């Protein structure tokens, strides 16, 4: 049986593209945290505070804590999506169905991130829920393909 994990499989190609976009977005949170830490002089390590001429660590800068909560929510969702994606490719779904799962997931996570930073509810909640539903749809299809 030919491998499904090649650039000649359109499902794999769309997974590779959207999966990488999700990873780059997630990594962007680390840089945003750095920008807010330096901008507010709010460091959690004494050696960082010292390097930027700040006397004390500051663990309750609201702007930093918000981006950290935002980033943690990514860690709770994006690695799970990436692992589901690998398995989803193996069950050989219809390419357009797979493409829309990947697109909706990545779009929902971008919506979550932006609305978290801007304190926009219920948009952040909708972004989170839509991403979860997309993952559960993938999970359900994988489970039913593996227990039959």
Rank residues 27 and 97 by Cβ distance to a second copy and give the closer one: 27
- Specify whether the CB–CB gap between 108 and 134 falls below 8 A: yes
Which runs of consecutive H residues, i.e. helices, occur in the chain? 10-40, 46-51, 62-90, 95-117, 123-147
Contact 18, 26 (CB under 8 A): no
Rounded-to-integer distance, Cα 41 and Cα 69, Å:
19
Nearer to a second copy, 2 or 53 (CB): 2
Q: Are 103 and 93 in contact (CB under 8 A)?
A: no
Residues 15 and 17: their CA atoms lie apart, in Å, by 5
Smallest gap from Cβ 20 to a second copy, in A, equals 5
Decide if residue 114 touches a second copy (CB under 8 A). Answer: no
Binding mask 58-87 for a second copy (x = CB under 8 A): --------x--x-x---xxxxxx-xxx-xx
**Which one-letter DSSP state was computed for residue 4?**
S
Q: Are 109 and 73 in contact (CB under 8 A)?
A: no
Among 48, 58, 104, 117, binds a second copy (CB under 8 A): 48
CB of 12 to a second copy, least distance (A): 7
Residue 86 CB, shortest distance to a second copy, in Å, is 6
- Residues near a second copy (CB under 8 A) are 1-8, 12-14, 16-17, 19-21, 23-24, 26-27, 29-30, 44-48, 51, 66, 69, 71, 75-80, 82-84, 86-87, 90-91, 119-122, 128, 132, 135-136, 139, 142-143, 145-147
């Amino acid at each position: 049986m030919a491998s499904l994990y090649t650039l000649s499989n359109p499902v794999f190609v769309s997974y590779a593209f959207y999966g990488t976009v999700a990873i780059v977005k997630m990594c962007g949170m680390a840089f945003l945290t750095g920008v807010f830490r330096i901008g507010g002089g709010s460091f959690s390590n004494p050696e960082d505070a010292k390097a930027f001429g700040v006397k004390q660590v500051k663990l309750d800068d609201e702007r930093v804590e918000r981006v950290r909560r935002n980033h943690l929510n990514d860690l709770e969702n994006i690695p799970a999506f990436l692992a589901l994606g690998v398995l989803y490719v193996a069950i050989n779904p219809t390419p357009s169905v797979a493409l829309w799962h990947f697109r909706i997931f990545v779009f929902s996570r971008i919506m979550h991130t932006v609305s978290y930073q801007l304190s926009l509810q219920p948009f952040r909640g909708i972004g989170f829920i839509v991403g979860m539903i997309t993952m559960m749809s993938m999970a359900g299809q994988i489970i039913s393909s593996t227990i039959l």
